[in-house]
A and B are shown apart, each in its own frame.
Chain A
Amino acid sequence: MSAVLFGFIVYLAILLTVGILTFRFNKTLADYVLAGRRLGVWVVTFSERASGESAWLLLGLPGVIFASGLSELWVVIGCTSGILFSWMFISRRLRIESEANYALTIPEYFENKYNDTTRTIRTFGTIIIVFFFTFYVCAQFIGAGKVLNVTFGIPEFWGMVIGALIILFYTIMGGFMAVAWTDFVQSLLMVFTLVLLPIIGLIEFGGWDKIIAHIASTKADHLSILGGNTGLLATLSIISGLAWGFGYMGQPHLLARFMAIKEPDQLRKGAVIGISWAVLAFWGAMFIGLFGIVVFSGTQVADPEKVMPMMATQLLPGWLAGILISGAIAAMMSTADSQLLVTTSAVAEDIYHNFINKKATEKKLVNVSRLITFCVGVAAFIIASQSKELVFTMVAFAWSGLGAAFGPALLLSLWWRKTTREGILAGMIIGTITVVVWHFIPQLTGLLFEMVPAFIMAFLAVWLVSLITYRNNKMIAKPLN
């Protein structure tokens, strides 16, 4: 057995063990979907980072930098700024308010805070979560197929099967506790990969100056931060890149991490740990893409999203390449498991518990949740096996959908007292519709990333509708105790 395969199998065995060990922990639904709000700051932060950055960061981003060059730097700056903003202005307030409003999910938080007796916010919120997360989990399965294909020569389809089976097993068994702890390990592995690989590349190719000179002589336009654009086009491309950062405040699987910490005040420390991780990981991913231009100059790379695993196998001894490639699998798994769990919690709590079986016992809820996790995983797998889309495009769609639907609504609900139930609902619906419409009109997508118009429209919708409906409204936020 090769060293790469051995390292990878050991890693997978650890994940399965965590699933089995944490099985008995899940006695209530709060345990299964939020680990009973008992987690420490390091686990929460590393889990938030590992869930936040998926196969997109390890495969998609190096791929797009490799193909288009430094014009994608704005995505990196936008994302890292969004991460910091979310930690500073969303995390602590959300943790405190969600507990005060007895909420386990984001739709539930909105419903309880605004006394929404009609259940409309919760129903719409759940539909949005299930719709976009199915695509998102799908993108992760496709990522698994690509990595296992490059590393072990397994056909992409069977790579997806292996990835999906392992994630489903430990998520169904261990719930949030298993997911958070496996995320912790995966997060370390991801940042290790993203820091080590560019450093080795730097040494291997004789230092920074040599690498830049090489790129300048072969693909000079890849060193331009405007990608050769000027005027309005350049401005639009910068705005599109930076807009990725808006997505962070609307991702239910990341917001769930903030809600699961034991001590809200610890989230301040989390902000410093989180942004340090993000800076190392994002700049590392970018340098992998950039150095890849030198590694593969003269070779035809059919799929740019395979540049990271190809570079690892080319530059490193087998065992080390195996560990680093496990980093990409880790990124994919840690995101897919969290997303599966959020979708599960939305369906179990917001649909099953609320509409189908109001008197369900906690044990019954946990078991129903396990069944839902399985069904969502299988649905995502079926779509993944039929899809020809790139990880980057699929994630961009789901990311903007969730970011625009929940981001402005959550931000205003936490910071603006006049936000109303109608405002939240308007923002969620307008945000979702704008993303879907914009995404399917190629002329618009080519000009501007769908996140920009969708976020602005959703923000305006929450603000304007709240202003109109604030007076004489019974469904405004209750004061906190």
Chain B
Amino acid sequence: MSFWTYFWLFVPPVLLVLIGIVYYFVTDGRAEK
């Protein structure tokens, strides 16, 4: 398998979970209007 196949296979899942965690901390204490 090529480098790009490995890249698209394994980078997005890690990135998505990381974005979720960052979102959790960034929105801490910020109320929705």
**Is A70 a contact partner of B24 (Cβ separation < 8 A)?**
no
**Is B5 a contact partner of A84 (Cβ separation < 8 A)?**
no
- Interface presence of A80 (CB below 8 A): yes
**Cα of A375 to Cα of B17 in the assembled complex, Å:** 41
**Is A77 a contact partner of B8 (Cβ separation < 8 A)?**
yes
**Contact digits for B2-33, partner A, Cβ 8 Å, 1 yes 0 no:** 00110011001100110111011001100111
Known contacts A268-B28, A272-B21; A70 and B9 CB within 8 A of each other: yes
Say what secondary structure dominates the interface of chain B: helix
**Is A268 a contact partner of B5 (Cβ separation < 8 A)?**
no
**Is A225 a contact partner of B32 (Cβ separation < 8 A)?**
no
- Chain B interface size band reads 10 to 19
**Is B23 a contact partner of A271 (Cβ separation < 8 A)?**
yes
Question: B31 → chain A, closest Cβ, in Å?
Answer: 8
Which of A223, A224, A279 interacts with B13 by CB under 8 Å?
A: A279
**Is B32 a contact partner of A93 (Cβ separation < 8 A)?**
yes
**Is B8 a contact partner of A225 (Cβ separation < 8 A)?**
yes
- Chain A interface size band reads 20 to 34
Known contacts A92-B32, A268-B28, A272-B20; A77 and B12 CB within 8 A of each other: yes
Question: B5 → chain A, closest Cβ, in Å?
Answer: 5
A residues in contact with B33, CB < 8 Å: 480
**Cα of A73 to Cα of B1 in the assembled complex, Å:** 14
**Is A84 a contact partner of B8 (Cβ separation < 8 A)?**
no
**Is A275 a contact partner of B16 (Cβ separation < 8 A)?**
yes
**Is A271 a contact partner of B8 (Cβ separation < 8 A)?**
no
**Cα of A70 to Cα of B5 in the assembled complex, Å:** 9
29 A-B pairs (CB sep. < 8 Å): A73-B9, A77-B12, A81-B12, A81-B16, A84-B19, A84-B20, A88-B20, A88-B23, A96-B32, A212-B1, A223-B1, A223-B5, A224-B5, A225-B5, A225-B8, A225-B9, A264-B32, A268-B24, A268-B27, A268-B28, A271-B20, A272-B17, A272-B20, A275-B16, A275-B17, A275-B19, A276-B17, A279-B13, A282-B13
Q: Which residues of B contact A (CB under 8 A)?
A: 1, 4-5, 8-9, 12-13, 16-17, 19-21, 23-24, 27-28, 31-33
Given pairs A81-B16, A223-B5, 13 additional interface contacts (CB within 8 A): A77-B8, A77-B12, A80-B16, A84-B16, A88-B23, A96-B32, A224-B5, A225-B5, A264-B32, A268-B27, A268-B28, A275-B20, A276-B17
